[in-house]
Structure 1
């Protein structure tokens, strides 16, 4: 479980700083609009420029802080050591695409989180004998979006009834699917944030010829040659920095995804979305599980 945070506190990889802690945060920068990677080009033989698409760059977050433990220089060193241990882990530092979690709590707002890499941790020890150590810290969030502190999850079984159910009056004969055609079951997901959220989609067998559909946008992830045995699963991770398709044993399964399937576009917009998935399953035990975090443009 994540550590509980109070207003004006920050959780850096499991170390809490800010209000009520030995680390006083004087100023924080980089929590507003992210930097922009523009693609503007000069107009040939004309005044001005042509406005190309703007993309967000990584978010640089800087803390101007100070460790205050009056008369206890050893405690100051312990705080620096704890922060250094939290930011120096080889499981993050030496693995591409991995990051540590930075959590932020502001008054009247829920806890928001970012995945970051530490770029600077610079204590100034000139006054440590008095229990005072100024501290500069800098982190880079390669994905500049703020996310909810906890996951949201929904599980959608394959349906058997065609058309989503019965409507009165009912007239015989009544047709149900017998497993020889792809079943189709709608479900609903809600992104309570203000920015697109990126789901992790797990399909559990037995099933074959799987297609995941975001009904509102019409975007699909199709795996027409996939054949999942009972007890096996495949996971499609659409999150920025990941965007992988993997087997339950960690093997690469991206070759099952059709060329027209765009993981990089398969997001959940703010609000409610309808999700559907189709597959062959004559046991009605296959499941699709979606896991996502609500996404926000601001704290």
Structure 2
């Protein structure tokens, strides 16, 4: 995974193209940065005043960018820039199958770079002033969910035998103290998750082992993969919206146990405990957890 380009304040990136401050694409405004659209289940009760408020769900965030390409006197240059802005969206990797996305990276003063995942839905130019090197743009980017994500992921690795380490050594010397916070003893399996919203992790088990089972202790959610891995083989559970796959290193899939809910296995902001088990007499298999901190607002 390559390191993302560092963005300046008010400079953004659509796919691989930089836009905003210091680029050929000036931005007048970006709409849709606040509360995302809602899908409500409100009901008007018959025969009485008021409204019964049902469950609310957020739709995917829609960002609208009022922009313009400016390159004085260079009609060909602004058309080349327009083509570049459309290029990343027009690939099999983005639009060739369901669930795949491209990134819109946003950098505002006082904030780290935030990322929304989605697809380009509109790139409408007005070329009437193109001869002067100026093309206004109406851009619409449809995100797959309502959240903003950190630019780069966090990760942790846990050996299968980690829970057997440590313990109490006798004879005890009094007085002794038991740490109340897991982070105080740096115990494997505890993840400090930044952000303000729950986020979906990518979990990779590397063999040799059979039937690995991963538990998020706080919620009790468990994912069990019914497969056998030899040394060096792996299975990856991607719980992210739009993906939600269980894939082997050879490109094939692996089944989850019927009780496993991949859509509900999330990490919450703060300290999370992950435990896992598998059949592995060698105790050499490992679990790698990767996640992108998520934010409800910029």
Q: Deviations over 1:155-187 (max 9, x none)?
A: 10011664x52213259xxxxxxxxxxxxx951
Q: CA deviation at 1:11?
A: 0.4
Mapped pair 1:27 → 2:26:
no
Helix, strand or coil for the counterpart of 2:117?
Answer: strand
How many residues align? The count is 282
- The answer to whether the Cα contact below 8 Å between 2:121 and 2:142 also exists between their aligned partners in 1 is yes
Q: CA deviation at 1:295?
A: 0.6
Which stretches in structure 2 are left out of the alignment for 5+ residues?
A: 173-186
Closer, same or farther in 2 for the Cα pair 1:248/1:72, shift >3 Å?
same
- The answer to whether the Cα contact below 8 Å between 1:197 and 1:294 also exists between their aligned partners in 2 is yes
- Aligned twin of 1:279: 278
Q: What is the alpha-carbon distance in structure 1 between the residues aligned to residue 229 and residue 171 of structure 2?
A: 36
Q: CA deviation at 1:233?
A: 1.1
Helix, strand or coil for the counterpart of 1:91?
Answer: helix
- Aligned twin of 1:212: 214
Residue pairs, 1:10-159, within 5 angstroms: 10-159=12-161
Q: What is the alpha-carbon distance in structure 2 between the residues aligned to residue 160 and residue 216 of structure 1?
A: 19
More strand by share: 1
Q: What is the alpha-carbon distance in structure 2 between the residues aligned to residue 141 and residue 156 of structure 1?
A: 32
Q: What is the alpha-carbon distance in structure 1 between the residues aligned to residue 22 and residue 232 of structure 2?
A: 49
- The answer to whether the Cα contact below 8 Å between 2:98 and 2:242 also exists between their aligned partners in 1 is no
Which has the higher mean CA deviation after the structures are superposed, 41-50 or 273-282? 41-50
Q: What is the alpha-carbon distance in structure 2 between the residues aligned to residue 12 and residue 110 of structure 1?
A: 17
- The answer to whether the Cα contact below 8 Å between 1:191 and 1:295 also exists between their aligned partners in 2 is no
Which stretches in structure 1 are left out of the alignment for 5+ residues?
A: 172-184
Mapped pair 1:9 → 2:7:
no
- The answer to whether the Cα contact below 8 Å between 1:160 and 1:284 also exists between their aligned partners in 2 is no
Cα RMSD between the aligned structures? Answer: 1.7
Mapped pair 1:165 → 2:166:
yes
- Aligned twin of 1:176: none
Q: What is the alpha-carbon distance in structure 2 between the residues aligned to residue 289 and residue 160 of structure 1?
A: 13
Q: CA deviation at 1:272?
A: 1.6
- The answer to whether the Cα contact below 8 Å between 2:100 and 2:243 also exists between their aligned partners in 1 is no
- Aligned twin of 1:288: 287
- The answer to whether the Cα contact below 8 Å between 2:162 and 2:188 also exists between their aligned partners in 1 is no
- The answer to whether the Cα contact below 8 Å between 1:69 and 1:76 also exists between their aligned partners in 2 is yes
Q: Deviations over 1:203-228 (max 9, x none)?
A: 111112321111122221123x4322
- The answer to whether the Cα contact below 8 Å between 2:11 and 2:20 also exists between their aligned partners in 1 is yes
Residue pairs, 1:254-265, within 5 angstroms: 255=255, 257-265=256-264
Q: What is the alpha-carbon distance in structure 1 between the residues aligned to residue 8 and residue 162 of structure 2?
A: 48
Give 4+ residue runs of structure 1 displaced > 3 Å after superposition.
Answer: none
Helix, strand or coil for the counterpart of 1:77?
Answer: helix
TM-score, normalised by the number of residues in structure 1: 0.90
